[in-house]
């Protein structure tokens, strides 16, 4: 592979990574919207949603991890490419300075924290529905 191919691979992996994060945000947004619009409390549905979300989050994090490793490899290949076979040094220095990849631990921790917050929101909405139903039933019994 030549220098340009490695640079292109780096940005292709960056785009793939962006799609995994976009998919994650869409799924989280959809789950939270679904959970907030539900009228009745249902423990089984909340458990199923939580388990399915955890499966999705696990696989999504794995894909993000694999893609991040691929970005590291492409970035390293670009930086280690022989100096005499690459474009002019000034352009190369500017380009390589922009090939920033966040540390995997920070990405992983952010994803896991977001997963925990998402589950907490889903369960807090379920508990709120249960409290509202219990309060409504208590009012009905008190009135009767």
Q: What is the pLDDT of residues 14-60, one digit of tens each?
A: 999 999 999 999 999 999 999 998 877 788 999 999 999 999 999 99
| 102, 106, 111, 117: CA torsion to nearest 10 | -140
DSSP annotation of 85 reads G
Q: What percent of the chain has pLDDT over 90?
A: 59
Residue with the larger pLDDT of the pair 60 and 140: 60
Q: Are 99 and 10 in contact (CB under 8 A)?
A: yes
Tokens matching residue 76: 């390293």
Q: Residue 80 has what pLDDT?
A: 87
pTM of the model: 0.83
Q: Residue 38 has what pLDDT?
A: 84
Q: Residue 143 has what pLDDT?
A: 58
Q: Residue 69 has what pLDDT?
A: 96
Cα 2 to Cα 143: distance, rounded to the nearest angstrom: 80
Reported confidence tier of residue 83, pLDDT bands at 50, 70, 90: confident
Q: Is 44 left (phi over 0), alpha (psi -120 to 50) or beta?
A: alpha
Q: Under 8 Å CB-to-CB from 41, ≥6 apart: which residues?
A: 126, 129, 130, 133
Segment 54-82 mean pLDDT: 94
Q: What is the pLDDT of residues 100-126, one digit of tens each?
A: 889 999 999 999 999 999 999 999 999
Q: Residue 97 has what pLDDT?
A: 81
Reported confidence tier of residue 88, pLDDT bands at 50, 70, 90: confident
Cα 49 to Cα 43: distance, rounded to the nearest angstrom: 10
Helices (H), 81-103: 89-97
């Amino acid at each position: 592979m030549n220098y340009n191919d490695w640079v292109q691979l780096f940005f292709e992996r960056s785009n793939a990574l962006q799609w995994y994060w976009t998919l994650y945000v869409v799924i989280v947004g959809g789950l939270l919207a679904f959970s907030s619009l539900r009228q009745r409390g249902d423990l089984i549905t909340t458990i199923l949603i939580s388990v399915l979300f955890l499966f999705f989050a696990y696989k999504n994090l794995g894909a993000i991890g694999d893609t991040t490793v691929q970005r590291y490899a492409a970035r390293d290949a670009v930086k280690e490419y022989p100096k005499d076979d690459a474009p002019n040094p000034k352009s190369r220095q500017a380009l390589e300075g922009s090939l920033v990849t966040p540390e995997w631990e920070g990405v992983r921790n952010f994803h896991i924290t977001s997963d925990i917050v998402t589950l907490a929101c889903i369960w807090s909405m379920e508990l709120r529905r249960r409290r509202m139903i219990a309060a409504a039933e208590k009012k009905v019994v008190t009135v009767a």
